Amino acid sequence: MSTPFKTYYFEDLAVGMRETLMKAVMDDDVIAFADLSGDRNPIHLSDHFASKTRFGERIVHGLYTAALISTVIGMYLPGPGAVYLSQTLNFRAPVKIGDVIHVVVEIVELIEKGRRARLHCECLVDGKVVLDGEAWVMVPSREQATRAAQLAKPAASA
């Protein structure tokens, strides 16, 4: 994605709109996420420990993968101003260090009252779903954004 972000207001949204993101997960990402979250489970950090598990190697934190969904929602669809209301997550398969995660978020329902959007969320590696779920977000209206911008303007000097 070449733009730093996209902003859609509720009035701009339509069922079927989708946005994607691709991210290669590197060892440094896993270590940084462990430091940030405090989840230092050795299945994520220790080659020796992970080699003895059913996965045979270290795996990426599930919530790291889920955080990429948040990136799409917060930065691209609907974008800045969207507020999470809920998120379900179904972990289908492990993500390994070096995998490229393809995140897809699609609008599947819009509810005008409260400006709610229901989003289908998927993360895939090599075309296989590794995580899926559903998010509900509240999306600002154009009118709200205009009103907020006017309130933020400094008063004209006399």
CATH of the domain at 30: 3.10.129.10
* Residue reference for tokens 């390994």: 96
Q: Is residue 5 part of a domain?
A: no
Cα 46 to chain centroid, rounded:
26
CA dist., res. 23 & res. 102, Å (int): 7
Does the pLDDT of residue 22 top 70, yes or no?
Answer: yes
- For the segment 95-151, what is each residue's pLDDT rounded down to a tens digit? 999 999 999 999 999 999 999 999 999 999 999 999 999 999 999 998 877 777 778
pLDDT at 144: 78
Inter-helix orientation angle 62-75/27-37, to 10°: 90
Tell me if 31 is assigned to some domain: yes
| Residue 125 and residue 94 in contact, taking contact as beta carbons nearer than 8 Å | no
Query: How far is it, in rounded angstroms, from Cα 147 to Cα 70?
Result: 26
Residue 158 forms part of a structural domain? no
Q: What is the mean pLDDT of residues 48-53?
A: 97
Q: Does residue 1 fall inside a structural domain?
A: no
The DSSP bridge pattern shows strands 90-91 and 116-125 to be unpaired
124 lies in some domain: yes
Closest CA to 61 of 85, 88, 36: 36
The domain in which residue 108 lies consists of 10-150
25 within domain boundaries: yes
Quick: pLDDT tens for 53-106. 999 999 999 999 999 999 999 999 999 999 999 999 999 999 999 999 999 999
Tokens linked to 142? 């154009």
Position 1 confidence tier, pLDDT thresholds 50, 70, 90: very low
36 membership: H or E segment, kind and range: helix 27-37
Residue 53 counted as domain residue: yes
For residue 61, the one-letter residue type is H
Whether 156 is in a domain gets the answer no
The total number of structural domains in the chain stands at 1
Find out whether 97 and 26 touch, Cβ atoms under 8 Å: yes
Contact 48, 98 (CB under 8 A): no
Give the rounded distance of the alpha carbon of 50 from its chain centre: 27
